[in-house]
Every structure is written in structure tokens, then in C-alpha cells.
């Protein structure tokens, strides 16, 4: 009977997909499960799923263990645990290609005209408080950089792209943008690197920053021609 | 007193000898390959027992010959008429020049009343007329039969004595024998490739004697040895054609043609040589020929040159031993020149384009009427039968859906090439009238130069009822748009009932709140019901779902999408393609919030999807599971979880497992 209970417990552990074990926690580290809205505090010995998001507040860190491998997330960082994995170059290219699919196609003038009436009374000059989105975005970029430093450059690029899109303030940070563009360059993805530098060019840059980007674009373009 | 000296016949004087062909298969027209695809008759029964012909309608032929003997003679050889009726071809010819006469001089002298008379004999052969029929069973196979009528006569002067008591009388009398017979033959052609043709035909297969015979002189009758003639024709290069016929009696003919385009017509040159078992030397003769054909007529001049010189007076020995096997080509024939003219009268227009087949790609789904404007409902495989590039105009008419013939875009087809042409249609009947499935008739037409149709083809087509759907999620949008005003009224009535609540909502959040209110109000009344007919083929219109208060995921997604779109909120269908090819459908809804405003609605960025609008503005879209009929937050959460796992992290959007189709 005890054996059956143990087997059931092991099976249930496997089924809920607890992939990461919390080895060490310092300070305030929060957990957001799947698509839940609320956050909970993580304690040492907890098991975390690949769908979870981990946030480390100021002066805190967390050490996770999965299949004997350790991963440390330092303070002021946020990371979806599903990204702590090796992604192939092919999958990275597919993920980058998803950018185009996200766009809503150009409107076709044919067909029934859409009703654009708005029902309900509009409230003008609303002073609803919007929470600062930039902080979470910045934390995610920090998390992505730590992914890259741990050898998951492909995952880090995907996280950065997602973060730049969802937290638009983050994509204005020149250093961060250059950091991830260089990651692409290191992976020898010349076309994607050029696209990224061209996107950075459109930011409000200083003269020096602009020169730096132009030089990088020129270097990669020459390399591409010589191939 | 008389003196009689009876000697054997030893001389034969050939007084008239015209011919059309050497051995059995030498042709009056000069021998041209069938692979040249001539539009006129370029060979007659002798070289074409199977009656193979590409004449389009009526054709009238006339041939005359100049005999190159010491005593030149001219003769009308042949007059013919041919007519094509579809794949059948009929041909008849009158052959006054196909005859051969011999005057036989004997050494029998009769003296009567001091006058000396020579007893003469004469021998006549003629082919009077013939008829042929052939049928083209396919592009590569033709079979045909021919029937010819022959007459032959032999007359001989003889001396008769009459004895009586008072006087003995000596009288010369002319004895006469004749024979009439029919000869029937069959032939086949097989063309496995455009540059290779085989033929096989018979010679003297069926002999039907109508009357008579030469009694004691049967050796002078026309020989009717049965033969088979095997032919091969090959086109190794563009304008070069090689051909050969072998007769089982050991005669043969080989030749070559060269063809070029000239003055809007075609010029053909030919040269062949032949061996006739019953003639000497081994290469019995040559036949050079030239032919020019234009749109309405074809002119041929051919010569038959015998390598062994013939004289007017020849010994009769081999007539008695070998006999005459062919009236038109035998050991007594002279070299000659034959000129022929064939006139083509086309009372029906030439077919330039032909249907090989039409494949109906899709059944007709009336609700998808807009789709048919840009997507073909059928493809026709056609062939250009002409020698020029042709612009083909396809059109179609489908009973029950079209009021008139619908033209599809023109396509240019290269000479003798096949092409796949698309057929488009427009549904012009009122949609309400498509209540049930029905079988309609699709008429397909192709036209080339003229306004008449070159070819047409008819096929049955399934026309579905208005609620039928072809299982492509992108096409659910047509159901969303149907009866839009009713969805608008329904949404408006719900929102009006929540006026006070909406009054205090931040403007930015208004679309999101409207989505939430409409969803909660909509699902409260709904029940998930799997479609008993077939969930992939039948979709309810929004008004029907609202009325019957239930439906499957397609019905509920369509209804809620219609409610939102009718008040200006953009939606898109998310198609989760499962392994069994049955899709699960969810909705993506545009909240109009910018990514920087996401925290107004959620703290979890996995619950939304950022899409760039057509005017380059990034907006937050939320996925909603339409079968979870509890409340908005639960449906959003489940929808987001599925979308995030399958579309984003699983890369379903780029791998093709998940697709997003905007309603507008």
C-alpha cells in the first residue's frame, strides 16, 4: 500500500511539471505562476514549474537547480523559467520570424465597412493611475542578460525581443539594445543583426552612438558582401 | 480458201498504262509522313489503308498524270471527296485513271476471200471507285477500313467452222469474259509519342467476287495475294521525317521528308525509293515529291521514276508467269508525273483549343461568395491544337448560382502545349435562397480567336446550403459579417443596460470593459452544444446562436466576434490545428490598449499578445476561450494559457500549427 502511495506521489510530481528546485533564496523573491495575476513569495526547497515567472527584488537572489545544473538569478531581475533551456538556431530564427506574423495585415477595402461607433460615454482627461511598467521591463532585461551570461544566448535574445515589445520603454535603452545586437552578431546571424542595428538607428541617439551603430552596420555589410 | 497458222501469242503491245502506286503501298501523292500533321490528304488508300487523315471538314481532291512513255499520254487519275464528322472520317474516290489495258497480238492468220486477217485479243483491268472510313479512338490510336471495286475483262477473237450439205462456212467471232470484284482492307495507326508512329494494314484481306471469271485464262486475272504492310514513321529533328513500309511479300519502300514554313503555308519535300518483288532491278524506282499547303488548298507534284527502262512493245512472258498484282504499279508501268490538288472547305470553324479535363477543386459554399472572386473553384486542362500561340479566354456558368456566363482571366498557351487554366465564379443568386444542398451543373467554355466556343465541358457540382462551411477557419469571417445589423442591435442592447457602469470607466479601458460586459452577458445565456450534424461543416449565423442560446466553439466564436465587430472592436480567429485535422477555434480581441498600458488590465504579460496595427501602432490583443461559458476572466485566462503555450512558446505561429485570421 505504501509503495502505491509513493508511486502516486512521484507520478503527481511529474505530472504537474515541477522542473526547478529552489536551492537558495536571499531577500524577497516572488513567484507568478502561469497566467495567474497574483505573486507569492518563494522559499527554499520550493519546486517551480517551467511556466512560472521569478522576480528578485533589490538585494535578493535565487539559486535554482534542474537536473544537477544550477542557475542563479541576481537582484532586480525577472525571468520566465521556460527560457532556461538551450534553443537551437533554427528555433531562434523561427521566433524572430514571428515578429512579422504578429502584425495585423493591411486592411482590405473590399467587403462590409466596419462599424466604428463607440458605445458608452467616453471619459476625457482621465487621471487613472498607471503602474510603472518600466520597472518590470527593466527586471526582465536584467534576467535576459543573466540568461546570456549562463550560456543561453538564443533564449536571451527571444526574451529581449519579447520584453522590448511588451515594455516599450526598455527598447529606448541604447546599451541594452547594443548588448543584444552583439549577441546576434556573435551567433553569426548577419541579416538579423543588421535588422537590429537598423532598428537601433531609429532611436533618438547621440552623435557618438549614431557613429557607433553606423560603423557596426558598415562592418557587417562588408562581411556579408565578402561571403 | 483459207490458211490458218496457229501460233502462240508472243507479243504484247501496251497501249495504255497509268498507275498510282508501286508495290502495294506506293502512293499517288508522293509519300509524305503522317507525323508532319498535314491538314490535307497527302496519301491515298495505297499508302494509307487505314484512311488516316487530319482534314477538319470537307476536302475535295483531284489528280492528273502525265505518262512519260514515247507516246505521251495524259489522264485524270482521281477525283475524291472527304468529310470529317467528329472523330470519324469518311472518304470516297472515283478513279478513272486507275486502269491498265493490253492489246494482245497473236500470229494466228486467217485468209478469207483473199484477205488476210490477224486474230487479236485484249485484256483490261480497272479500279473504278473506292470508299474508306476511319475513327480516331484517341490522340494516339486510329483504325480504318477501305473498300475498292475492280473490273477486269478479257476478249479473244476465234475462228469457227460451220459445215452443211451445201456449203461450209468460216466465221471469226469475239469471245468475251469479265470479272467484277470487291476488295476490303483494314489498317491501324498507333502514335505512342509525338515523333513516332507505327502502322499496320492489310492488302487483299477480303475478296468478294461479284461475277464472272476468265475461265481457261485465270492466270491473266488480277492477282490477289494476301499481304500485311507494316510501317514506321519517325521525326528525329524538327523538320525531318523518316518513314518506311515493309510488305510481307518482300517488297518495301523507304523515304524521307523535309518540311519548312513558307509564305504562310508549309512546303514539304520528299524522296522515297521502293523495291517491288515482281519487278527488276532490286531498287525498282524512286519517287521525288513536293507539296505546298496553305489555309485552303494543298498542291502536290510527285514523279515516279522506274530504274528499268520500259518500251511500248514488251514480251508477254512475265505477264503469263507473274501476272498483274497491281493495276497501278507493275512490270509494264511507265515513269510518270502526277499532279494533285486538294481543296479544303471548312464549313465548321477549326478547333484551336480543346479541353482535356476540368477538375472542380471545391464545392460551392454560398457564404464564401467573396472567396470565389480571388480563388478558382475549378481548373481546366487544355491543349493548344494549333501551330501558333493562342490567347485563351475561359468562362463558366454554374446553374443555380450564376445569372450569366462568368469570364475568367485570359491565358496564353504555346503551340501544341497544354496548360492549366483557372475558373473563377461570382455568386449572383440571393444568399437566402441557398437553403439546402443541391447538385448544379457547371458549364466550362474556352474560346480562342473567334467568339464561338472552341470547346465546352459540363460537370456536376455540389452547391451547399448557406450554413455550410468548408472547415477553413479563415472563412468563419463570412459568417461573422452575415446579418451584421442584428449583432449590432444585440450588443447595443446589452451595453445600454450597463450604461452607468461604463460611464465611469477610463476611456482607455472602455473597449476592454465592453468586451468583458458583452462576454459575461452573452455566455450567461449560452450553452455549449457540439454540432450534431458535423462540427466542421455547419456553422450557425450569430442571430441563430443568440436565438437558440447555444452552439459549438465555431458558433460561439462567430457570434461573439460578430457582436464585438459590430460595435467597432477588432477580432481575429485563432486556429489551433490538431493532429486529426479538426481545428479548435478561439478568439483574439483587440483591447486598443498600448503595451505601456497593459498593467491597467493585468500584471501578467503572458495574458496578452502585442500586435502592430496596419497603421504601425502596437496594441494589446487578448485571447479568449469561447467554450468556457463561466465568466470573462476565466475564459481569458484559459485562452491566454493555451495561446501562450501553443502559439508563442511552442512557436506554433511560425511552425504553422497555430494561425491567426483577422475578421476584417
| Å between B374 CA and nearest CA of chain A | 12
Q: How many residues does chain A have?
A: 227
* pLDDT band with cut points at 50, 70 and 90 for residue A153: very high
Q: Which of B505, B612, B645 sits opposite A123 (nearest CB)?
A: B505
Cα angle B444-B445-B447, degrees, rounded to a multiple of 5 = 160
Is the CB of A166 less than 8 angstroms away from the CB of B664? no
The pLDDT value given to residue B257: 92
Is the CB of B481 less than 8 angstroms away from the CB of A91? no
Distances (CA, A) of B201 to B49, B147, B276: 6, 13, 18
Q: What CA–CA distance (Å, rounded) separates B574 from B658? A: 7
* pLDDT band with cut points at 50, 70 and 90 for residue B512: very high
Is the CB of A35 less than 8 angstroms away from the CB of B567? no
Q: What CA–CA distance (Å, rounded) separates B170 from B587? A: 124
Is the CB of B664 less than 8 angstroms away from the CB of A111? yes
Distances (CA, A) of A94 to A100, A157, B352, B576: 11, 12, 50, 18
Question: Does the pLDDT at position B431 exceed 50?
Answer: yes
Please name the residues in contact with B490: beta carbons below 8 A apart, sequence gap of 6 or more: B542, B546, B563
Helix (H, G, I), strand (E, B) or coil at B571: strand
Cα nearest neighbour of B504 on chain A: A123
Is the CB of B568 less than 8 angstroms away from the CB of A117? yes
The pLDDT value given to residue B580: 59
The pLDDT value given to residue B126: 92
The pLDDT value given to residue B108: 66
| Å between A201 CA and nearest CA of chain B | 18
Is the CB of B503 less than 8 angstroms away from the CB of A111? no
* pLDDT band with cut points at 50, 70 and 90 for residue B511: very high
Query: Are B376 and B406 in contact, with CB atoms under 8 Å apart?
Result: no
In chain A, residues with a C-beta closer than 8 Å to the C-beta of B502 are 119-121
Find residue B266's DSSP bridge partners. Answer: B261, B293
Task: Return the DSSP state at B468.
Answer: B
Helix (H, G, I), strand (E, B) or coil at B302: strand
**Can you read off the three cell numbers belonging to residue A87?**
534553443
Question: Does the pLDDT at position B181 exceed 80?
Answer: yes
Report the range out of A171-180, A217-226, B30-39, B160-169 with the highest average pLDDT: A171-180
The pLDDT value given to residue A5: 37
Is the CB of A34 less than 8 angstroms away from the CB of B654? no
| CATH number for the segment(s) B473-662 | 3.10.620
Q: What is the DSSP string of chain A?
A: -HHHHHHHHHHHHHHTTEEEEEEEEES-EEEE-TT-S--EE--TT-EEETT-EEEE-TT-EEEEEETTEEEEE-SSEEEEGGGSS---HHHHHHHHHHHHHHSPPPPPSSSSPPP----S----S--PPPP-HHHHHHHHHHHHHHHHHTT-HHHHHHHHHHHHHHSGGGGG-HHHHHHHHHHHHHTT-HHHHHHHHHHHHTS---HHHHHHHHHHHHHHHHHHHH-
| Helices B510-524, B632-642: crossing angle, 10 deg rounding | 100
Chain CA centroid to CA B531, Å: 46
* pLDDT band with cut points at 50, 70 and 90 for residue B70: low
| pLDDT, tens only, B550-576 | 888 889 999 999 999 999 999 999 999
Give mean pLDDT, residues B427-437.
77
The pLDDT value given to residue A97: 85
Q: How many CB atoms lie within 10 A of CB B223?
A: 13
Query: Are B476 and B385 in contact, with CB atoms under 8 Å apart?
Result: no
For cell 509494264, what's the residue? B332
Mean pLDDT, rounded, of chain B: 84
Q: What are phi and psi of B226, to 5 degrees?
A: -80, 135
Q: Which of B638, B549, B656, B653 is nearest to B586 (CA)?
A: B638
Percent of chain B at pLDDT exceeding 90: 33
Mutate to test the interface with A, among B369, B490, B605, B608 (most CBs of A within 10 A): B605
Q: What CA–CA distance (Å, rounded) separates B354 from B270? A: 31
Q: What CA–CA distance (Å, rounded) separates A195 from B647? A: 24
Is the CB of A105 less than 8 angstroms away from the CB of B654? no
Report the range out of A156-170, B15-29, B418-432, B467-481 with the highest average pLDDT: A156-170
The pLDDT value given to residue B579: 59
Give mean pLDDT, residues A91-119.
63
Q: Which of B502, B514, B595 sits opposite A165 (nearest CB)?
A: B595
Query: Are B175 and B158 in contact, with CB atoms under 8 Å apart?
Result: yes
Question: Does the pLDDT at position B166 exceed 90?
Answer: no
Question: Does the pLDDT at position A71 exceed 60?
Answer: yes
Q: In B385-521, at which residue ranges do the beta strands (DSSP E only) sit?
A: 390-398, 406-407, 411-413, 418-423, 438-447, 455-463
Is the CB of B568 less than 8 angstroms away from the CB of A118? yes
Give mean pLDDT, residues B626-642.
92
Q: Which of A220-224, B192-196, B586-590 comes out lowest in average pLDDT?
A: A220-224
| pLDDT, tens only, B655-664 | 888 999 998 8
* pLDDT band with cut points at 50, 70 and 90 for residue B44: confident
The pLDDT value given to residue A124: 39
Cα nearest neighbour of A170 on chain B: B596
Give mean pLDDT, residues B183-194.
91
Helix (H, G, I), strand (E, B) or coil at B387: coil
Question: Does the pLDDT at position B648 exceed 80?
Answer: yes
Count CA within 13 A, CB hemisphere, residue B267: 5
For cell 487519275, what's the residue? B77
Mutate to test the interface with A, among B654, B658, B660 (most CBs of A within 10 A): B654
Is the CB of A102 less than 8 angstroms away from the CB of B488? no
Q: What is the CA radius of gyration of chain A?
A: 22
Give mean pLDDT, residues B515-531.
88
Cis peptide before B281 (omega within 30 of 0): yes
Question: Does the pLDDT at position A88 exceed 70?
Answer: yes
* pLDDT band with cut points at 50, 70 and 90 for residue B16: very low
Is the CB of B599 less than 8 angstroms away from the CB of A105? no
| pLDDT, tens only, B101-147 | 888 776 666 666 666 777 778 889 999 999 999 998 887 889 999 99
Is the CB of B507 less than 8 angstroms away from the CB of A126? yes
Q: What CA–CA distance (Å, rounded) separates B492 from B365? A: 31
The pTM of this model reads 0.59
Question: Does the pLDDT at position A144 exceed 90?
Answer: yes
Sheet bearing A53-56, strands edge to edge: A40-41, A29-32, A53-56, A77-80
For chains A and B, count residue pairs whose Cβ atoms are closer than 8 Å.
Answer: 138
In chain A, residues with a C-beta closer than 8 Å to the C-beta of B624 are none
| Å between B451 CA and nearest CA of chain A | 32
Give mean pLDDT, residues B278-296.
87
Q: What are phi and psi of A47, to 5 degrees?
A: -105, 135
The pLDDT value given to residue B106: 65
Beta-strand pair B527-528/B550-551: parallel
| Å between B461 CA and nearest CA of chain A | 26
Question: Does the pLDDT at position A43 exceed 90?
Answer: yes
Q: Which of A111, A117, A167 sits opposite B595 (nearest CB)?
A: A167
Q: Which of B154, B153, B156, B169 is nearest to B118 (CA)?
A: B156
Q: Which of A53, A98, A104 sits opposite B612 (nearest CB)?
A: A104
Q: How many CB atoms lie within 10 A of CB B200?
A: 16
Question: Does the pLDDT at position A122 exceed 60?
Answer: no
Please name the residues in contact with B76: beta carbons below 8 A apart, sequence gap of 6 or more: B62, B63, B64, B96, B97
The pLDDT value given to residue B10: 36
Give mean pLDDT, residues A162-185.
93
| Å between B538 CA and nearest CA of chain A | 23
In chain B, residues with a C-beta closer than 8 Å to the C-beta of A30 are none
Q: Which of B607, B649, B662 sits opposite A82 (nearest CB)?
A: B649
Please name the residues in contact with A111: beta carbons below 8 A apart, sequence gap of 6 or more: B370, B481, B664
Helix (H, G, I), strand (E, B) or coil at B83: strand
Task: Return the DSSP state at B644.
Answer: I
Q: What CA–CA distance (Å, rounded) separates B601 from B623? A: 13
> Per residue, what are the HEC states of B26-56?
CCCCCCCCHHHCCCCCCCCCCCCCCCCCCCC
Mean pLDDT, rounded, of chain A: 81
Is the CB of A119 less than 8 angstroms away from the CB of B567? yes
Q: What CA–CA distance (Å, rounded) separates B264 from B410? A: 26
Question: Which CATH class name applies to B353-463?
Answer: mainly beta
Q: Which of A53, A123, A169 sits opposite B507 (nearest CB)?
A: A123
Q: What CA–CA distance (Å, rounded) separates A223 from B432? A: 63
In chain B, residues with a C-beta closer than 8 Å to the C-beta of A112 are 481, 484
Q: Which of B599, B612, B618 sits opposite A131 (nearest CB)?
A: B599
User: Which comes out higher in pLDDT, residue B620 or B278?
Assistant: B620
**Can you read off the three cell numbers belonging to residue A47?**
519546486
Domain ranges of chain A: 17-84, 86-96+134-227
* pLDDT band with cut points at 50, 70 and 90 for residue A4: very low
Q: What CA–CA distance (Å, rounded) separates B643 from B652? A: 9
Q: What CA–CA distance (Å, rounded) separates A162 from A144? A: 10
Please name the residues in contact with B310: beta carbons below 8 A apart, sequence gap of 6 or more: B69, B332, B333, B334, B335
Cα nearest neighbour of B566 on chain A: A115
Is the CB of B370 less than 8 angstroms away from the CB of A111? yes
* pLDDT band with cut points at 50, 70 and 90 for residue B450: low
Give mean pLDDT, residues B642-654.
89
Question: Does the pLDDT at position A185 exceed 60?
Answer: yes
Question: Does the pLDDT at position A117 exceed 80?
Answer: no
Question: Does the pLDDT at position A54 exceed 80?
Answer: yes
Mutate to test the interface with B, among A103, A104, A139 (most CBs of B within 10 A): A104
Task: Return the DSSP state at B547.
Answer: H
Beta-strand pair B438-447/B455-463: antiparallel
Q: How many CB atoms lie within 10 A of CB B281?
A: 10
Give mean pLDDT, residues B279-287.
88
Is the CB of B370 less than 8 angstroms away from the CB of A110? yes
Question: Which CATH class name applies to B11-301+319-345?
Answer: mainly beta
In chain A, residues with a C-beta closer than 8 Å to the C-beta of B481 are 111-112
The pLDDT value given to residue A199: 92
Mutate to test the interface with A, among B596, B615, B617 (most CBs of A within 10 A): B596
Query: Are B448 and B405 in contact, with CB atoms under 8 Å apart?
Result: no
Give mean pLDDT, residues A7-31.
67
Find residue B383's DSSP bridge partners. Answer: B354, B418
Is the CB of A34 less than 8 angstroms away from the CB of B606? yes
Give mean pLDDT, residues B73-89.
86
Q: Which of B5-9, B282-286, B440-444, B448-452 comes out lowest in average pLDDT?
A: B5-9
A86-96+134-227 placed in CATH 1.25.40.10: yes
Q: How many CB atoms lie within 10 A of CB B263?
A: 8
Model ipTM over 0.85: no
User: Which comes out higher in pLDDT, residue B495 or B42?
Assistant: B495
Q: Which of A99, A133, A78 is nearest to B651 (CA)?
A: A99
Domain ranges of chain B: 11-301+319-345, 353-463, 473-662
Q: What are phi and psi of B579, to 5 degrees?
A: -65, -30
Amino acid at each position: 500500500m505504501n509503495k502505491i502511495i509513493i508511486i502516486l506521489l512521484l507520478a503527481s510530481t511529474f505530472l504537474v511539471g515541477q522542473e526547478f528546485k529552489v536551492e537558495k533564496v536571499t531577500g524577497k523573491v516572488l513567484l507568478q505562476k502561469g497566467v495567474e495575476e497574483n505573486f507569492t513569495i518563494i522559499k527554499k526547497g520550493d519546486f517551480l514549474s517551467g511556466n512560472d515567472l521569478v522576480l528578485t527584488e533589490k538585494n535578493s537572489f535565487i539559486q535554482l537547480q534542474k537536473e544537477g545544473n544550477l542557475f542563479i538569478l541576481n537582484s532586480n531581475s525577472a525571468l520566465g523559467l521556460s527560457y532556461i533551456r538551450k534553443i537551437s538556431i533554427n528555433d531562434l530564427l523561427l521566433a524572430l520570424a514571428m515578429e512579422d506574423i504578429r502584425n495585423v495585415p493591411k486592411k482590405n477595402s473590399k467587403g462590409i465597412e466596419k462599424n466604428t461607433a463607440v458605445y458608452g460615454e467616453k471619459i476625457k482627461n482621465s487621471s487613472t493611475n498607471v503602474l510603472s511598467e518600466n520597472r518590470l521591463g527593466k527586471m526582465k532585461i536584467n534576467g535576459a542578460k543573466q540568461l546570456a551570461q549562463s550560456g543561453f544566448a538564443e533564449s536571451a535574445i527571444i526574451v529581449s525581443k519579447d520584453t522590448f515589445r511588451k515594455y516599450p520603454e526598455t527598447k529606448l535603452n541604447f546599451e541594452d539594445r547594443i548588448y543584444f545586437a552583439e549577441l546576434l552578431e556573435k551567433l553569426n546571424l548577419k541579416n538579423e543583426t543588421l535588422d537590429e542595428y537598423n532598428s537601433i538607428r531609429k532611436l533618438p541617439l547621440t552623435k557618438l552612438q549614431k557613429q557607433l551603430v553606423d560603423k557596426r552596420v558598415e562592418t557587417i555589410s562588408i562581411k556579408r558582401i565578402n561571403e | 480458201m483459207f490458211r490458218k497458222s496457229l501460233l502462240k501469242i508472243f507479243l504484247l503491245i501496251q497501249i495504255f498504262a497509268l498507275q498510282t502506286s508501286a508495290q502495294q503501298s506506293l502512293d499517288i501523292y508522293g509519300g509524305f509522313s503522317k507525323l508532319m500533321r498535314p491538314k490535307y490528304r497527302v496519301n491515298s488508300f495505297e499508302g494509307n489503308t487505314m484512311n488516316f487523315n487530319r482534314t477538319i471538314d470537307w476536302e475535295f481532291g483531284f489528280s492528273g498524270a502525265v505518262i512519260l512513255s514515247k507516246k505521251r499520254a495524259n489522264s485524270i487519275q482521281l477525283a475524291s471527296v472527304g468529310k470529317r464528322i467528329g472523330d470519324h472520317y469518311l472518304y470516297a474516290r472515283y478513279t478513272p485513271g486507275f486502269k491498265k489495258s493490253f492489246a494482245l497480238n497473236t500470229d494466228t492468220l486467217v485468209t478469207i476471200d483473199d484477205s488476210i486477217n490477224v486474230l487479236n485479243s485484249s485484256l483490261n483491268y480497272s479500279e473504278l471507285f473506292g470508299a474508306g472510313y476511319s475513327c480516331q479512338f484517341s490522340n494516339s490510336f486510329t483504325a480504318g477500313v477501305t473498300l475498292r471495286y475492280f473490273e477486269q475483262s478479257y476478249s479473244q477473237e476465234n475462228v469457227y467452222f460451220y459445215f452443211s450439205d451445201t456449203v461450209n462456212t468460216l466465221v471469226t467471232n469475239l469471245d468475251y469474259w469479265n470479272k467484277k470484284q470487291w476488295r476490303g482492307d483494314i489498317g491501324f495507326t498507333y502514335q505512342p509519342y509525338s515523333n513516332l508512329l507505327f502502322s499496320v494494314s492489310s492488302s487483299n484481306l477480303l475478296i468478294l467476287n461479284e461475277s464472272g471469271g476468265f475461265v481457261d485464262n485465270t492466270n491473266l486475272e488480277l492477282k490477289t495475294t494476301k499481304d500485311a504492310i507494316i510501317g514506321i514513321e519517325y521525326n528525329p529533328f524538327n523538320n525531318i521525317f523518316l518513314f518506311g513500309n515493309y510488305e510481307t511479300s518482300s517488297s518495301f519502300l523507304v523515304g524521307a521528308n523535309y518540311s519548312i514554313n513558307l509564305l504562310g503555308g508549309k512546303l514539304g519535300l520528299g524522296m522515297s525509293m521502293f523495291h517491288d518483288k515482281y519487278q527488276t532491278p532490286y531498287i525498282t524506282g524512286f519517287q521525288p515529291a513536293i507539296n505546298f499547303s496553305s489555309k485552303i488548298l494543298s498542291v502536290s507534284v510527285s514523279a515516279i521514276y522506274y530504274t528499268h527502262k520500259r518500251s511500248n512493245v514488251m514480251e508477254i512472258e512475265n505477264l503469263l508467269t507473274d501476272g498483274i498484282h497491281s493495276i497501278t504499279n507493275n512490270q509494264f508501268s511507265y515513269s510518270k508525273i502526277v499532279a494533285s490538288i486538294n481543296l479544303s472547305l471548312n464549313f465548321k470553324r477549326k478547333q484551336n483549343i480543346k479541353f482535356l479535363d476540368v477538375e472542380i477543386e471545391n464545392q460551392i459554399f454560398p457564404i464564401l461568395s467573396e472567396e470565389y472572386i480571388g480563388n478558382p473553384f475549378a481548373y481546366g486542362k487544355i491543349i493548344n491544337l494549333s501551330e501558333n500561340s493562342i490567347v485563351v479566354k475561359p468562362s463558366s456558368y454554374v446553374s443555380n448560382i450564376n445569372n450569366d456566363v462568368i469570364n475568367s482571366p485570359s491565358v496564353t498557351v504555346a503551340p501544341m502545349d497544354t496548360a492549366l487554366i483557372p475558373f473563377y465564379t461570382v455568386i449572383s443568386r440571393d444568399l437566402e435562397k441557398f437553403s439546402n444542398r443541391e447538385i448544379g451543373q457547371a458549364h466550362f467554355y474556352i474560346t480562342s480567336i473567334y467568339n464561338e466556343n472552341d470547346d465546352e465541358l459540363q460537370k456536376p457540382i455540389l452547391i451547399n446550403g448557406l450554413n455550410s462551411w468548408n472547415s477553413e477557419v479563415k472563412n468563419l469571417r463570412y459568417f461573422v459579417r452575415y446579418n451584421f445589423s442584428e449583432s449590432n442591435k444585440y450588443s447595443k442592447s446589452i451595453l445600454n443596460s450597463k450604461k452607468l457602469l461604463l460611464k465611469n470607466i477610463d476611456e482607455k479601458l472602455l473597449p476592454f470593459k465592453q468586451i468583458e460586459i458583452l462576454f459575461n452577458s452573452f455566455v450567461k445565456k449560452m450553452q455549449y452544444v457540439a454540432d450534431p450534424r458535423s462540427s466542421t461543416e455547419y456553422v450557425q449565423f450569430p442571430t441563430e446562436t443568440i436565438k437558440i442560446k447555444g452552439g459549438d466553439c465555431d458558433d460561439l466564436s462567430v457570434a461573439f466576434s460578430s457582436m464585438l465587430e459590430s460595435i467597432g472592436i477588432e477580432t481575429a480567429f485563432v486556429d489551433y490545428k490538431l493532429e486529426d485535422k479538426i481545428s479548435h477555434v478561439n478568439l483574439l480581441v483587440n483591447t486598443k490598449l498600448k503595451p505601456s498600458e497593459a498593467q491597467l488590465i493585468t500584471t501578467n504579460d503572458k495574458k496578452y499578445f502585442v500586435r502592430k496595427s496596419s497603421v504601425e501602432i502596437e496594441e494589446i490583443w487578448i485571447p479568449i476561450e469561447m467554450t468556457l461559458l463561466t465568466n470573462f476572466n476565466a475564459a481569458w485566462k484559459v485562452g491566454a494559457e493555451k495561446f501562450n503555450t501553443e502559439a508563442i512558446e511552442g512557436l506554433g505561429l511560425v511552425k504553422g500549427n497555430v494561425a491567426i485570421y483577422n475578421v476584417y
